[in-house]
A and B are shown apart, each in its own frame.
Chain A
Amino acid sequence: EVQLVESGGGLVQPGGSLRLSCAASGFTFSSYWMHWVRQAPGKGLVWVSRINSDGSSTSYADSVKGRFTISRDNAKNTLYLQMNSLRAEDTAVYYCARDRFWSDVMDVWGQGTTVTVSS
């Protein structure tokens, strides 16, 4: 079964850091681009970041550029999102998603992990 499981969310103070993980199983992780997408409470979906198959190319939404870093460990079948200088507006459920054949379409999604930035 193809599966993505996020972890690492929690409560963090403004200005703090957090690292999210996404464990992949049931497919050849190293062959796929991966994404992070977030959803603030009661709001819509917002794309955050993408990484290519071997980790050599990344892209970010303007709202997180310079603060967030996407990375992956293909030996561990795991995707990461390092989040620094967190702000209240970063509060959201963070989903990892698999890219459909290098297309920027997301065909498999995890269940999400919640990040709350508050003092």
Chain B
Amino acid sequence: EIVLTQSPGTLSLSPGERATLSCRASQSVSSSYLAWYQQKPGQAPRLLIYGASSRATGIPDRFSGSGSGTDFTLTISRLEPEDFAVYYCQQYGSSLLAFGQGTKLEIK
């Protein structure tokens, strides 16, 4: 079973700043089968990134994903007010799907 660890637990930044969120896997994620989701309070998650670096339909290009193997990163180049939320990574390279515990991005 692959375990995903996200860091930091909470990230405090201001609008306009750059955000870098990390997701580390306990073993290599095959074929970069890593996705990122955004969840706002009281809402369902929204797919942002799949295949480690491909943006989902309608996702602004300020969101980008990178990484391979066991280390993956979600970068938000210039934070907008609507970007403050919780972000989850998910691996789908093994039959037992798993999410990370989440990173809360809060306004500083």
Contact = CB atoms under 8 A, between A and B. Distances in A.
Interface of A: 35, 37, 44-47, 50, 59, 61-62, 95, 100, 103-107, 109-112
Contact of B99 (A47, A59, A112): A47
Interface of B: 33, 35, 37, 39, 43-47, 50, 56-57, 88, 90, 92, 95-102
Contacts of A45: 37, 39, 45, 88, 90, 99, 102
Nearest to B34: A105
A100 B50 contact: yes
Contacts of B57: 107
Interface residues of chain B: helix, strand, loop or mixed (majority): loop
14 contacts: A45-B90, A47-B98, A50-B97, A62-B96, A100-B47, A104-B33, A105-B47, A105-B90, A106-B37, A106-B45, A107-B56, A107-B57, A109-B45, A111-B44
Contact of A95 (B45, B96, B98, B102): B45
Contacts of A110: 44
